[in-house]
Amino acid sequence: MTGAGFSYVQARIQARHGRRPDESDWSRLESCESAHAYLEAARTGVLSAWAEGLNAEDGIHRLEASIRRSWRGYLRSVASWSPESWREAIEWCGCLPDVPTAAHVAAAEEPPEWLAPEQGAGAETPGSLDEWREGWRARMPSPDSEARAGLAALEAAVDAWSAANRDPEQASVSRSASLHERLEHRVTTVFRRHALGPAAVFAHLLLTALDVQRFRGGLARRQALSGRGVVGAAA
């Protein structure tokens, strides 16, 4: 399904795409030395929705749980704007941040001490990204050829980024930044070329997730330096 069925959600995600943080927004955040200053800066900028309800006095796991709740809330909003047949696949993205935790817990004989009860991965959370993708595809309606092409392009972008990041001999901060930029470019291309189809919705969600991940990473680093991070927690 493409075309008119996605025009309602496209109008809304297009507006939000135009409000994504640019490098000047990130530079303003990166100039903040403390978690408190970082959150205050976020609240007055385009990331205000993600900073809402966060308290710099909280530990990183409480903050992480709050950010994940906000992510799931945003997914419910996007799903509500979308054709009903696609809503389940959109909401399935809510458990994606829990996949690494589920894999970590599954490999341990008992949950690690740093894992708070409210952060435990739900029973529905898959234990690997491959399992998650299978569940995602199973929740989609049968896409038409245009939708399939857009979704295939999006998956190819993610697969290329993932494969490039698995090469330990090439690992570096500059290369990681370059790969991240390349991924954003490819996903943005999908967003624009397949504007009136499901691929645009998932491309928007992926770009939003990258922004949230960057925001969360900056906050976590400052919490760690303040002593409010948890030693031994999974990255």
What residues contact residue 65 under an 8 Å CB cut-off, 6+ apart? 116, 118, 119
Does residue 127 or residue 82 have the better pLDDT?
82
Does residue 193 or residue 227 have the better pLDDT?
193
pLDDT 10s digits, 135-178: 999 999 998 999 999 999 999 999 999 888 877 666 666 778 88
Domain boundaries, the chain: 3-226
HSE-CB of 221 using CA atoms within 13 angstroms: 11
CA angle 58, 36, 75 (to 5 degrees): 65
Measured between its terminal Cα atoms, the distance across the chain in Å is 38
pLDDT 10s digits, 8-41: 999 999 999 999 999 999 999 999 999 999 999 9
CA angle 214, 219, 222 (to 5 degrees): 130
What are the φ/ψ torsions at residue 45 (nearest 5 degrees)? -125, -160
